[in-house]
Amino acid sequence: MLLLSATGGANAQSYADSLEQYRKQYIADITSGPRSPVKPSQIKGISFYRADVSYRVLGTLKETPGSTPFMIETHSGKKKPFREYGTVTFTLRDTLTTLHIYQSIDLIKDAAHKDDLFIPFTDGTSYDFTYGGGRYLDLSIRDIKDGMLQLDFNKCYNPYCAYSDGYSCPVPPSENRVQVSIAAGEKMFVQ
């Protein structure tokens, strides 16, 4: 029994450690480069919910082959072409939830990004604790295993528009505006 408890604690600790590394890399990525939305002096305004493995859920994927491409609105008023890849249904905080998964039409043409999947969403934390314009979760077709897809909301992040003007960030479509509160991942940026 003690060994199981120690192993469980070690797994939780190693998950928290790997998530911490992931977040450090994320901050490095958004604060470096000519198009970076955050200046290094603003890093203190970036914050996250504590790591919580209960926000890492397994969902059932339902693909939508042959879906018609459509245009997603962006915060700048421009529109970007996407297609629905499918939906993923999962239970979070005793609530059955479905999110739509998209692929960028532009990125499908790029060999390095052809497997990229994208979930823009808003939830019960939006406007109060997280960016009102929604948060994003990135996945890959390679993450799909036997019709199942693991979603780790501890890795959801703000679009560049949360930090600065001048970006064309997709606005989550109405079907991805969920009522459940997802108190995980990146919080609202504070300047």
What percentage of the chain exceeds 70 in pLDDT? 93
- CA–CA separation, 186 vs 39, rounded Å? 17
Assign 2 a pLDDT band (cuts: 50, 70, 90).
Answer: very low
* Domain total of the chain: 1
**Residue 166 forms part of a structural domain:** yes
CB 190 within 8 A of CB 45: yes
Phi and psi of 120, rounded to 5°? -90, 135
Question: What's the mean pLDDT when you consider all of the chain?
Answer: 92
**Residue 191 forms part of a structural domain:** no
- CA–CA separation, 70 vs 12, rounded Å? 40
155: which residues sit within 8 A by CB, 6+ positions away? 19, 22, 137, 138, 185
**Residue 107 forms part of a structural domain:** yes
**Residue 140 forms part of a structural domain:** yes
Assign 191 a pLDDT band (cuts: 50, 70, 90).
Answer: confident
CB 55 within 8 A of CB 182: yes
Assign 3 a pLDDT band (cuts: 50, 70, 90).
Answer: very low
**Residue 87 forms part of a structural domain:** yes
DSSP 43-96: GGG--BPPP-GGGEEEEEEEE-TTPPPEEEEBTTS-EEEEEEEEEEEEEETTEE
**Residue 108 forms part of a structural domain:** yes
CB 81 within 8 A of CB 106: yes
- List pLDDT tens digits, range 119-145: 999 999 999 999 999 999 999 999 999
Tokens representing residue 155 in the block:
């890795």
Q: Which residue segment(s) compose the domain that 113 sits in?
A: 47-176
CB 47 within 8 A of CB 190: yes
**Residue 5 forms part of a structural domain:** no
pTM of the model: 0.89
- List pLDDT tens digits, range 37-69: 999 899 999 999 999 999 999 999 999 999 999
**Residue 169 forms part of a structural domain:** yes
